[in-house]
Amino acid sequence: KAGVTQTPRYLIKTRGQQVTLSCSPISGHRSVSWYQQTPGQGLQFLFEYFSETQRNKGNFPGRFSGRQFSNSRSEMNVSTLELGDSALYLCASSLSDRDESYEQYFGPGTRLTVT
Amino acid sequence: GQNIDQPTEMTATEGAIVQINCTYQTSGFNGLFWYQQHAGEAPTFLSYNVLDGLEEKGRFSSFLSRSKGYSYLLLKELQMKDSASYLCAVREAAGNKLTFGGGTRVLVKP
């Protein structure tokens, strides 16, 4: 079974631009979560989507947004990029129903560099 | 607020045992996870505890005490490939929002 895939793997953007990252979960997984990982702050939760609805949200500004499609694929968007947004963005999928949650499987991540 | 603490670094010898402690203070509790992350790679799932006690999975075991807000990950018969960061994460409520500790970098020496 194919794992979680993320595209692109590497991205360089300029301050003020916007970026869209994509995540395809493991087949059959309906929950997709996004995390930001930096050396200083570690792994921080951005948001979770389940059945096309945002189910959980972290403490990030409104410049960070996401969505999920009917095939469970998810995208996250960061507008008006800042230097501090440089990070590894990880997507994780989970075989989750409405009441139960299971372990999350992480994708390889997208390394975003903002200059 | 949320607070999850684990040591920053640990060093151990190949073949030995290492115990990584994790203490947490969160507003809710719905499970504790341990992940392994090699440098430059994505985290991979190791273990999950939601009830008190010990969960054993091969060379890895994880323990949870909810009343103490404490967990540990035990790595036995250490191998060089076990050199990695080990992340403790708490799920506070329904869904898949995980709050991670800063990670413990384990270095296994020959």
Note which residues in 27-86 of chain B have CB less than 8 A from chain A.
30-31, 33, 35, 41-45, 48
- pLDDT of A2 reads 79
Query: Is the Cβ–Cβ distance between B52 and B65 less than 8 Å?
Result: yes
* pLDDT tens digit sequence for B66-94: 999 999 999 999 999 999 999 999 998 87
Is the minimum CB–CB distance between A109 and chain B shorter than 8 Å? yes
pLDDT band at A60 (very low <50, low <70, confident <90, very high): very high
A100 has pLDDT over 80: no
- Asked whether A9 and A111 are in contact (CB, 8 A), the reply is yes
Name the CA dihedral angle for B37, A110, A91, B73, rounded to a multiple of 10 degrees. 10
Average pLDDT estimate for B56-73: 96
Size of chain B, expressed as the number of residues it contains: 110
Hunting for tokens 């009830």 — which residue is that? B51
Q: Is the pLDDT of residue A96 over 90?
A: no
User: Using one digit for the tens of pLDDT, what is the confidence trace for A11-39?
Assistant: 999 999 999 999 999 999 999 999 999 99
> Percentage of chain A surpassing pLDDT 70?
95
pLDDT in tens, B23-44: 999 888 989 999 999 998 999 9
Contacts of A106 in chain B (CB under 8 A): 35, 42-44
What percent of chain B stands above pLDDT 90? 85
